[in-house]
């Protein structure tokens, strides 16, 4: 039995018009002038609303759709009457989708020159409309000029058996356009102050383009207009952390413009952090401003949260009242906690610092890895160690940041092994070269190590008995042992930046 999408279907008929644009968004019943002729099984054309679903309409919220049935369809979705007039209503276009590649739905497009009844659809505009199956829509256009002077009806006809869903949206009847409407619009390289957009070039030689944009909700005609000779444009300057909308149309000079595309949307990123040291202690119940969760596996349902204790209450925040945590009930699921973009180009010795704890559960330990991008379009690259062993108390970590840039990104990637969780607190990005020589590193057991950074010696102080002193590399390798009763460690022979 094929799995059905959980989408509500509602039917109803009737009414009439000429020269129209219909996106089926006004109601969950067929619009005025439209008719569904049900001549086969019980399933027929109806309106589908996608609000809250896992796929979308081409524009707005609704489509006209027909669902599969175990017996053959014999169904028409019929437009309002069209009086075909040259230069006024001699053109038809629509967007169509066949949802499932394993069960491809197709339709035909037919014409009646008399009445909106099944037997009257004796002319064929397209014998087979078969869009590539999937979530995307494809545009279909037809010249009606052969019917000039006549009143006609267009019938979208389905006769398939036990396929899936066929969806129609944005049906347009009007004049043959002077230019193609831009399609396949892509938004990429979105930053805090700009976004790049592109689309499929018009088939009309010499066509140019206009883009109109503004903050989400702006009234078209009041936005900013960009003219472009290429099938792409950069929208700039923009405000950081702001949602925008835009439209695109083609221009064919003296022949005029195409219609505008349906509205498109994007949101700019946060502006890069420029003040250092930058710190975050996760003191609220929600994700910090300009931070983000990025799903790696698990479908995006598992994210970092902000807790007062870990899974068995053995770890509490390093800095009260909360800490970041990644913990799931599904082993292998991963999610990244992304810091805001950072402008570390001016830091002499940029360094990431944070505290980590990950308590085991019957030997299982959740894992942490740190990744960076020097630029938003780069691939993630791991830095520092893979923290795959237990830290039952807070571990203070320092990682030098390579390839510094003005749009640097850092991600904390948690991997679930169904343990007590990965806990992170006291995150900071600092310029290690400007920290004072009296800076002190103090771990959760009250042991003080100073100065930080140090050149030749570090001092070790504790009011507790120390059983051993070991110096580790940034990758966790043992590089030096120190007498447990020593109050000072000689590090003069070690490489600069090699320990933490």
Q: Tens-digit pLDDT profile for the chain (500 aa)? A: 333 333 322 222 333 334 789 999 999 999 999 999 988 778 889 999 999 888 899 889 999 999 888 888 899 999 999 999 998 999 999 999 998 888 888 999 999 999 999 999 999 999 999 888 888 888 888 989 999 999 999 999 999 887 889 999 999 998 887 788 888 899 988 888 899 999 988 877 788 999 999 999 998 889 999 999 999 999 999 999 899 999 999 998 777 788 888 899 999 989 999 999 999 999 999 999 999 998 888 766 789 999 999 988 999 999 999 999 999 888 889 999 999 999 999 999 999 999 999 999 888 999 999 999 998 789 999 999 999 999 999 999 999 999 999 989 999 999 999 899 999 999 999 999 885 444 445 554 556 676 665 656 676 766 666 777 777 765 556 777 777 666 677 776 776 555 54
Tell me where in the chain the CATH 2.60.40.10 domain(s) lie: 183-267
Rg, C-alpha atoms of the chain: 31
> With respect to CATH, is domain 9-174 assigned 2.30.300.10?
no
Give the Å distances, CA to CA, from 319 to 247, 282, 315, 403, 462.
47, 9, 11, 30, 21
* Gap between the Cα atoms of 382 and 410, Å rounded: 10
Separation CA 221–CA 224 (nearest Å): 8
Burial of 452 (0-12, 13-18, 19+ CB in 10 A): middle
> Which pLDDT value is given to residue 445?
58
Percentages helix, strand, coil for the chain, rounded to the nearest 5? 0, 40, 55
- Two tokens at 45? 């054309």
Determine the 3-state secondary structure of 414 from DSSP.
strand
Beta bridge partners of 431: 350
> What is the rounded CA–CA span in Å between residue 33 and residue 50?
23
Distance separating alpha carbons of residues 248 and 182, to the nearest angstrom = 7
Q: What is the per-residue pLDDT for 3?
A: 31
Residues 74, 79, 85, 86: is their CA dihedral positive or negative?
negative
Instruction: List CB contacts of 496: < 8 A, sequence separation 6 or more.
Output: none
Q: Is 433 helix (H, G, I), strand (E, B) or coil?
A: helix
C-alpha to C-alpha distance for 48 and 11, rounded to whole angstroms: 9
Q: How far apart are the first and last CA of the chain?
A: 58
Q: Do residues 365 and 389 lie in contact, with contact meaning Cβ atoms separated by under 8 Å?
A: yes
How many CB atoms within 10 Å of residue 314?
14
Cα separation, 83 vs 149, in Å, equals 7
pLDDT at 444: 47
What confidence score (pLDDT) does residue 500 get?
A: 45
Residues 460, 446 contacting (CB under 8 angstroms): no
- In this structure, the strands spanning 232-235 and 224-228 are unpaired
Looking at the domain 278-434, which fold is it? Jelly Rolls (2.60.120)
- Tell the residue number behind the tokens 């085991």, with chain if given: 360
CATH number of 183-267: 2.60.40.10
Parts of the chain belonging to CATH 2.60.120.200: 9-174, 278-434
Q: What pLDDT, on the 0 to 100 scale, is given for residue 429?
A: 97
Sign of the alpha-carbon dihedral angle for 269, 270, 274, 279: negative
Q: Buried b vs exposed e over 170-193: b needs ≥16 C-beta within 10 Å?
A: bbbbbebbbbbbbeebebeebbbe
Q: How far is CA 491 from CA 192, 431, 458, 479, in A?
A: 43, 21, 7, 10
């Amino acid at each position: 039995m094929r799995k059905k999408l959980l989408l509500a279907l509602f039917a109803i008929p009737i009414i009439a018009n000429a020269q129209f644009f219909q996106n089926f968004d006004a109601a969950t019943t067929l619009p005025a002038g439209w008719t569904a002729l049900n001549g086969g099984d019980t399933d027929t054309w109806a309106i589908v609303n996608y609000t809250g679903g896992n796929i979308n309409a081409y524009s707005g919220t609704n489509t006209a759709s027909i669902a599969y049935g175990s017996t053959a369809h014999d169904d028409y979705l019929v437009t309002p009457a069209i009086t075909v007039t040259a230069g006024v209503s001699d053109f038809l276009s629509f967007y169509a989708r066949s949802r499932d590649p394993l069960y491809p739905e197709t339709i035909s497009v037919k014409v009646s020159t008399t009445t909106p009844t099944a037997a009257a659809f004796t002319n064929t505009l397209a014998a087979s409309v078969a869009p590539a199956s999937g979530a995307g829509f494809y545009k279909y256009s037809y010249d009606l000029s052969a019917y000039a002077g006549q009143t006609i009806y267009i019938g979208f006809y389905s006769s398939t058996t036990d396929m899936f869903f066929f969806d129609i949206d944005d049906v347009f009847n009007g004049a043959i356009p002077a230019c193609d409407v831009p399609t396949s619009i892509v938004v990429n390289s979105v930053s805090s102050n700009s976004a790049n957009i592109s689309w499929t070039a018009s088939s009309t030689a010499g066509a140019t383009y206009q883009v109109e944009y503004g903050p989400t909700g702006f009234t078209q005609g009041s936005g900013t207009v960009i003219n472009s000779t290429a099938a792409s444009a950069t929208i700039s300057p923009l405000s950081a952390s702001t949602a925008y909308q835009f439209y695109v149309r083609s221009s064919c000079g003296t022949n005029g413009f195409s219609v505008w595309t349906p509205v498109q949307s994007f949101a700019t990123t946060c502006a890069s952090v420029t003040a250092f040291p930058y710190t975050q202690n996760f003191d609220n119940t929600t994700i910090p401003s300009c931070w983000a969760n990025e799903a790696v596996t698990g479908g995006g349902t598992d994210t970092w949260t902000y807790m007062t204790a870990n899974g068995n209450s053995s770890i509490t925040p390093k800095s009260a009242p909360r800490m970041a945590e990644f913990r799931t009930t599904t082993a292998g699921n991963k999610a990244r906690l992304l810091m805001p973009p950072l402008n570390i180009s001016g830091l002499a010795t940029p360094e990431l610092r944070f505290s980590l704890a990950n308590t085991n559960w019957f030997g299982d330990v959740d894992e942490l890895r740190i990744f960076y991008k020097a630029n938003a379009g780069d691939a993630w690259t791991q830095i520092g160690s893979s923290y795959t062993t237990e830290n039952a108390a807070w571990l203070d970590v320092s990682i030098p940041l390579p390839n510094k840039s003005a749009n640097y990104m850092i991600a904390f990637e948690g991997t679930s092994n169904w343990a007590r969780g990965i806990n992170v607190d006291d995150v900071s990005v600092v310029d290690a070269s400007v920290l004072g020589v009296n800076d002190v590193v103090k771990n959760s057991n009250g042991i003080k190590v100073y100065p930080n950074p140090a050149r030749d010696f570090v001092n070790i102080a504790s009011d507790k008995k120390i059983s051993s002193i070991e110096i580790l590399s940034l990758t966790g390798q043992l590089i030096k042992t120190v007498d447990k009763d020593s109050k000072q460690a000689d590090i003069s022979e070690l490489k600069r930046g090699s320990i933490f």
